[in-house]
Amino acid sequence: MSLPRLIEALRSQGVADCELAIVLGSGLGVLVERVRNARSIPYADLEGMPKSSVPGHAGKLVIGTLGGKRVVLQQGRVHLYEGFAVEEVTRAVRAFAALGVPELVLTNAAGSLRLDAPPGTLMRITDHLDLQGKARLPRVQAQYGTPWDTTLGSELDAAARQVNQTVPQGVYAALLGPSYETPAEIRMLRKLGADAVGMSTVAEAIAAHGAGMRVCGVSCLTNYAAGITESVPNHEEVVEEGRKASQRFCDLLEAFASRGSQA
């Protein structure tokens, strides 16, 4: 019964009036500073909301206006590697969908598998590889095919041009974690067609799409994956590179949110 309780908690906070939901990955929470008339709600005050223990995930919702649109920002997510079930990892986005929020932007910090996409690159997710090895949600809560909306993706590309950014497109591979991948695993992922690798996002995309939301996504490539260069990935680097890219990330997401707005 946790999902119904969370839906009612979010309804009482005005989430049903939001036009766009954004999930903020590690080190990307700075976007909340762009939200006007912002109201912050700690997860502890939302019955049924799972709480992350990972650094870089603040654990609060922020509701307000971004780019002239009413938005809800999820500042911090929970992960399968923390021991949460798929139902818990996807609970917030399914609650957003149940309240009628039509669009979802999923963001994350990820490792780059491409030398031409160095740390600090923002990549638009075009598709994914689900290699997390966890049971998905019941069939009624998922749909076949890719969850990544091509129209929203094109609008994200247009927002990038509007703010004079080059945002490459690529495939995101999701592994369970929490350990970083080995060089051999990265060679495998490159052969499978992945451009970036991380430990989140895919279950949320599938669940939100299955619940009727339109979904797009952005990876902030915060490090080269193991074996691409001689550097060794670590979480402190992930958060720091996210911080360095924060201005461009905020510009991109604000421009995207402003589509069709008079603000």
- Identified catalytic residue from 82, 87, 185, 237: 82
What is the 8-class DSSP label of residue 81? G
- Identified catalytic residue from 43, 57, 108, 255: 57
- Identified catalytic residue from 9, 43, 79, 257: 79
Q: Residue 241 is inside which H or E element, if any?
A: helix 235-244
Is 200 part of the annotated catalytic residue set?
yes
Which residues are within 8 A (CB) of 196 and not within 5 positions of it... i.e. 6 or more apart? 110, 111, 112, 113, 117, 123, 125, 170, 171, 172, 173, 219, 221
Is 144 part of the annotated catalytic residue set?
no
- Identified catalytic residue from 40, 58, 235, 240: 235
**CA separation for the pair 26, 239 (Å, rounded):** 6
- Identified catalytic residue from 38, 81, 155, 237: 81
Is 2 part of the annotated catalytic residue set?
no
- Identified catalytic residue from 97, 174, 199, 255: 199
Q: For residues 71 and 22, is the Cβ–Cβ distance under 8 A? A: yes
Is 128 part of the annotated catalytic residue set?
no
Is 209 part of the annotated catalytic residue set?
no
Is 112 part of the annotated catalytic residue set?
no
β-strand 20-24 against 69-75: which pairing, if any? Answer: parallel
- Identified catalytic residue from 109, 173, 207, 245: 109
- Which backbone phi and psi does 8 adopt, to 5 degrees? -70, -35
Is 179 part of the annotated catalytic residue set?
no
**CA separation for the pair 169, 123 (Å, rounded):** 5
Is 57 part of the annotated catalytic residue set?
yes
Select from 257, 216, 214, 259 the least CA-distant residue to 102. Answer: 214
- Identified catalytic residue from 108, 112, 219, 223: 223
- Please, what is the Cα angle at 156 between 252 and 30, to 5 degrees? 30
- Identified catalytic residue from 194, 200, 211, 224: 200
CB neighbour class for 35 (10 Å; exposed up to 12, middle 13-18, buried from 19): buried
Tell me the catalytic residues.
26, 57, 79, 81-82, 109, 199-200, 223, 235
